[in-house]
Amino acid sequence: MRYFIRFSYFGKAYHGWQNQPNAITVQEVLEKAMSTLLRQPIEVVGAGRTDAGVHAKEMYAHFDSEPISDKQDFVYRLNAFLPEDIAVFDLVKVKENANARFDAGERTYEYWLVQQKNPFYFELAHCIRQPLNLEAMNEAAKLLLEHSDFESFSKSNTDVKTYICDVREAFWEDRGDKLVFTISADRFLRNMVRAVVGTLLEVGLGKRKPDEVNQIIESKDRSKAGVSVPAKGLYLTAVSYPKTILDE
């Protein structure tokens, strides 16, 4: 039977989501814990591939196993096997062909920014102490919705077949103790959000005009965009799925 798990993780200790031969990843730790609990080899497929140091407030993955009769007991015992920086919240039975990666209709990320030294955000947000023009940053962010090819914000030498993404929202907001950039799309390219934020920060610092974002995107040249911001401020916050994947 196929199941989805809903979970979160703090990414500092991990070299991203996906299994790698010489580095610890969230997928590896999760698969080991689930294999131990279910006493069979378990492979999980995640909703996306977060980079090293990136966090996930809401992440999904699917796996196949024998029927699990007690959902709450499974979640409780699995969390006992997992380290403190990974937490599972729910188990959902889905249809046999449901796929956590390919059935995801929308993904949302947030990037956290602080403007003064704050020990409580030291590992949670990027710090920029210079004044930022939030209005100009939002003007530039809005232009992202007018484009579909985001090669300029993609990490070089990736194995993707297309750079097309449907960006549905992109905006900055002041939440009092931090500035937060929110962006939603059907899919994201490797390093895309961090490169977008780095570019928008250059607008906010007055190094670029907002409408230069158009030229950057149209160039399809990564070197034209801004420097990627640190991973510690990036959070996957939501993944949505159609109800049709549920096995009810």
Instruction: Output 156 or 92, whichever has higher pLDDT.
Output: 92
Taking the whole predicted model, whether its pTM rises above 0.85 is answered as yes
Beta strands in the chain (DSSP E): 2-9, 45-46, 55-64, 86-94, 106-114, 126-127, 167-174, 179-185, 234-240
**Mean pLDDT of all residues in 138-142:** 97
Is the four-CA dihedral 51, 56, 60, 63 of positive or negative sign? positive
Residue 116 scores a pLDDT above 90: yes
Residue range 70-96, pLDDT digits in tens: 999 999 999 999 999 999 999 999 999
Task: Tell me the percentage of the chain whose pLDDT exceeds 70.
Answer: 98
Residue 157 scores a pLDDT above 70: no
Residue 108 scores a pLDDT above 80: yes
Residue 248 scores a pLDDT above 70: no
Residue 49 scores a pLDDT above 90: no
**Mean pLDDT of all residues in 152-173:** 88
Q: Could you give the CA distance from residue 88 to residue 75 in angstroms, rounded to a whole number?
A: 6
For the beta carbon of residue 186, count every other beta carbon within 10 angstroms.
Answer: 14
Task: Kindly list the catalytic residues.
Answer: 51
Is the four-CA dihedral 224, 230, 231, 236 of positive or negative sign? negative
